Structure 1
Amino acid sequence: MSAPQGPAHRALREQLGVYALGGGDPAERAAVRAHLDGCAACRAELAELTPVAARLADVDPDRLDELAAPPPGLGEAVLARIAAESGARTAGRRPQRRGWALAAVAAVAAAAFGVGWLVRPVPPQPPLERVAVQVDDAGITATADVVPHTWGVEVKLSGAGFTAGEVYRVSVREQDGDEVPAGEFLGTGPAELDCNLNSSVLRADAAGFRVVDAGGAVVLSSDF
């Protein structure tokens, strides 16, 4: 049954973005989880937000203010071409031709910016480490890769057979046995799913991860 569409529902729905990013205090996260159990619309919205939130982990904050520059000499080459063509025209050309030339300069400049953006330096991707997965639910198939980051470890999980609409919780196990939350995802039934799960545990301290269903039962696990 869907949750009522009232102020309380709107307030919880507005928290979905924070929830997908792993934010909120324990009480707020518990309230959102309880709401998700009874609201299919919010579960669907969270399923759309979760991959986006995971990709934010790959963003380099130090590069957000960088502006791509056009290739060297492009501006001079364009102006020289325009000057050459203007010199070849007769003095009787109508004035609006200059407007067309200025428009051409603006268009080329915009294109140059786009080219500069496309050829901007792209930082190398961290290495993927394939890890073995132990499946405890016969209906589930899954593979996983681990990505080490300076801020923690990322688990890239792919699979199928997770109950559609059910919330699955993931945790990374430290060497001393402590479990650290790494995010949640919604099952998609027989459809293939790919999700990125992030934890603050550094790769050197991580011993494995596990996935539990809404009832707390382990459906798959991995030992690194």
Structure 2
Amino acid sequence: MRTPDDRWADLAAAALAGELSEKEAAEFEDLRRADPARAREFAELDALTRRLRQGDLTWTTPRDTGDLGTRIEASLAREEGVLLARDAAGSRPRRRWVLPAVAAACLAVGLVVGLTGPGVLSPVPAGPPGTLGAVEAVEVSEDAGGIAVDADVVAHTWGTEAYLEAEGLTVGATYELVFVGADGGEFSAGEILGSEVPIVCRMNAAVLREDAVRMELRDNARTVVAHADLPTV
């Protein structure tokens, strides 16, 4: 399952390439407003790509596909071909810009590890449920028709984090994600608003993974619209 970081990285890279659709641009703007740190990081990347463009390097991408990753990769391949052709023709060499451009794009696509994580080469933790930092896939059951919800959870020393992806929620309606403990205690991980576009977000609750046995997405009337029974740690 793709994580919210993957979606942010795709949108950030497409924004740098000037290839966001109207809906993607609105989604990206919402994500930037919700996370000032990422907004600052994107501003720095944007400034870097502007500097690269001053060397006659431009981001041009085909618009024959809606897949962000494919569009970005095609753009980079196309630029490299143009620069190599210039070299072969004896014009002023530009190949020194290819690597920085690719690096900038890869940095955007890899924001999850490059900007919000400990480092590009840091290994992702793995292990059974409850392993600190490991992404744990959970099986979500939809209790309301017309919606689709996927989720992963991550155990932390300070609580439990959920990677949530949801579609089909009532536009503008408020939904709360709640973790339920073995003793019946409830721990809110925050609220989201239904949207026309898929919702991809990270939500946190102040309950240790080992103490959580269930996750519920509830509407404003506290009706459960989706839930997941969490494996015992």
Short-chain TM bin: 0.3 to 0.5
TM-score, normalisation: structure 1:
0.47
Structure of larger gyration radius = 1
